[in-house]
C-alpha cells in the first residue's frame, strides 16, 4: 500500500478510539480500482427506529485512493466510484463522512469533484 494510513491493520487499531468499525469499500470497474478505508460509527439518535451511521478517517490521514487506473481515465473512474459509493451509503444508512485527506499524496486533488474539500 502507498502509506501505513491505508493499511487495514492500521485502521483496525482505531476502532475502539473512534467507537466504530473499520471497513473498506473497494470499487473496481473496467477503468480501474479505488480503495477507501474508513471507520463506520453508529449515530446515537434513531429516527423511526432506524440506525444511522457516519464515516470518519482513522486517526491520521486517508480518504479514497486510486490503486489502478487506465491512463487518462482518472476523472471517469472517480466519478464512477462516487456514484457507487453514494449508493453504498444509501443502502447502509450512512448519512455523513469526514475525511482527512493525505497532504503528501494529495488524493484530495483527484476526488475534489465528488467531495466538498475544505483546506485548513
pLDDT digits (tens, 9 = 90+) for 32-91: 999 999 999 999 998 889 999 999 999 999 999 999 999 999 999 999 999 999 999 999
Domain ranges of the chain: 4-109
Look up residue 41 and give its three cell numbers: 460509527
Ramachandran category for residue 59: left, alpha or beta (phi over 0 → left; psi -120 to 50 → alpha):
beta
**Whole-number pLDDT of residue 63:** 96
Give 119's contacts (C-beta < 8 A, 6+ positions apart): none
Is the CB of residue 100 less than 8 Å from the CB of residue 63?
yes
Distance (Å) of CA 13 to CA 22, 29, 41: 9, 30, 15
Amino acid at each position: 500500500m502507498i502509506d501505513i494510513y491505508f493499511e487495514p491493520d492500521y485502521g483496525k487499531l482505531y476502532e475502539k478510539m473512534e467507537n466504530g468499525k473499520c471497513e473498506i469499500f473497494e470499487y473496481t470497474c473496467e477503468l480501474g480500482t479505488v480503495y477507501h478505508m474508513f471507520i463506520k460509527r453508529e449515530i446515537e439518535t434513531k429516527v423511526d427506529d432506524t440506525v444511522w451511521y457516519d464515516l470518519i478517517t482513522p486517526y491520521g490521514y486517508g480518504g479514497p485512493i486510486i490503486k489502478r487506473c487506465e491512463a487518462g481515465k482518472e476523472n471517469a473512474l472517480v466519478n464512477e466510484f462516487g456514484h457507487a459509493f453514494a449508493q453504498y451509503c444509501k443502502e447502509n444508512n450512512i448519512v455523513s463522512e469526514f475525511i482527512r485527506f493525505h497532504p503528501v499524496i494529495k488524493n484530495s486533488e483527484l476526488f475534489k469533484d465528488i467531495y466538498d474539500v475544505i483546506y485548513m
